[in-house]
Structure formats: structure tokens, C-alpha cells
């Protein structure tokens, strides 16, 4: 592989990694927003979560991640069955 092509490939890989990091950060932020809004209800002056809030957050995060994985798998399956994405 010649140097300009290798540099272009390297640059593309770096761009893809940056995009993946951005997507992952968005997912974490969305998970935090959704689960916090659903689970944290006591805003007293304590810095601790109540035990029910902690349990709710754990369940919420687990379900959110499981749903995200299932949605991703369904998307990949839909691409696999879509003729537009199959090699000619």
C-alpha cells in the first residue's frame, strides 16, 4: 500500500473511532437522562441515593442496554434482508 493511501486509510479509521466514541457518549448521556428522570424522586439534602432509587437505576440501565442491543441486532437483520445492501 503506498504512503498516501495508507495515510488516507489511517485518517478514515481515526474518524470512524471518533464517531463511535461520540455515539457511545450520546448513549451514556441518554441512558443517564432517561433513568434519572424515571428513578430519582427524592431531592432532599442528602448526597446518597435512596435504596429504591439505586435499585430502579440498576434495572433501568440493564433494560436500556438490553433494548439497545436488541434494536441493534434487529437493524443488522433488516440490512441483511434488504436487497439494496446485498452485493451485486
Q: Is 1.10.490.10 the CATH classification of the domain at 3-85?
A: no
Structural domain spans, the chain: 3-85
So what's the pLDDT on residue 1?
56
DSSP helix, strand, coil percent of the chain (3-state; round to 5): 80, 0, 20
Which region among 7-11, 13-17, 21-25, 54-58 has the lowest average model confidence (pLDDT)? 7-11
* Across 10-34, average pLDDT: 92
Cell 440490512 locates to: 79
Between 87 and 82, name the one with better pLDDT: 82
Instruction: Give dist(CA 7, CA 72) in Å, integer.
Output: 31
The Cβ-side half-sphere exposure at 48, using a 13 Å CA radius, reads: 3
Task: Find the angle CA(77)-CA(21)-CA(11) to the nearest 5 degrees.
Answer: 95
Amino acid at each position: 500500500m503506498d504512503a498516501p493511501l495508507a495515510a488516507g486509510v489511517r485518517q478514515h479509521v481515526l474518524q470512524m473511532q471518533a464517531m463511535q466514541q461520540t455515539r457511545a457518549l450520546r448513549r451514556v448521556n441518554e441512558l443517564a437522562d432517561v433513568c434519572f428522570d424515571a428513578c430519582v424522586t427524592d431531592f432532599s439534602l442528602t448526597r446518597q441515593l435512596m435504596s429504591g432509587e439505586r435499585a430502579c437505576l440498576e434495572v433501568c440501565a440493564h433494560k436500556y442496554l438490553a433494548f439497545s442491543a436488541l434494536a441493534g441486532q434487529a437493524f443488522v437483520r433488516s440490512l441483511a434482508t434488504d436487497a439494496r445492501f446485498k452485493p451485486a
